[in-house]
Amino acid sequence: MDGEEPGIPSDGLEAHLDMCLRCRKLLADADELNRLFSVNHSRAPDLTEAILSAVGADVRRRPGR
C-alpha cells in the first residue's frame, strides 16, 4: 500500500472524488501519463505530486459531503 498523502485528508478524498468529476479526470490523466512516460522513458516525471497537490487543494476548498 501507499503511505499517507501529505496535504490530503484521505477520508475526504474519496468523498470528494465521488462528487468531483474534474478531480477524477485529473487522477485518471495522471495515471495515463505516468503509464506513457514509464513506457517511453522508463522513468516517470514527478506528476503524481503535482496532481495530488491540485486535487488536495480542491478537496480542502470543497469538502465532500
Return the closest-CA partner of residue 15 out of 47, 58, 53.
58
Provide the grid cell at 31: 495515471
- Between 10 and 38, name the residue whose CB sits nearer to Zn ion: 10
CA separation for the pair 49, 56 (Å, rounded)? 10
Q: Which of 5, 34, 47, 58 lies at the binding interface for Zn ion (CB under 5 A)?
A: 58
- x/- letters, 15..44, toward Zn ion (CB under 5 A): -----x--x---------------------
Give the number of C-alpha atoms closer than 13 A to the C-alpha of residue 8, restricted to the C-beta side: 24
- Between 36 and 50, name the residue whose CB sits nearer to Zn ion: 50
Q: Which residues bind Zn ion (CB under 5 A)?
A: 20, 23, 58
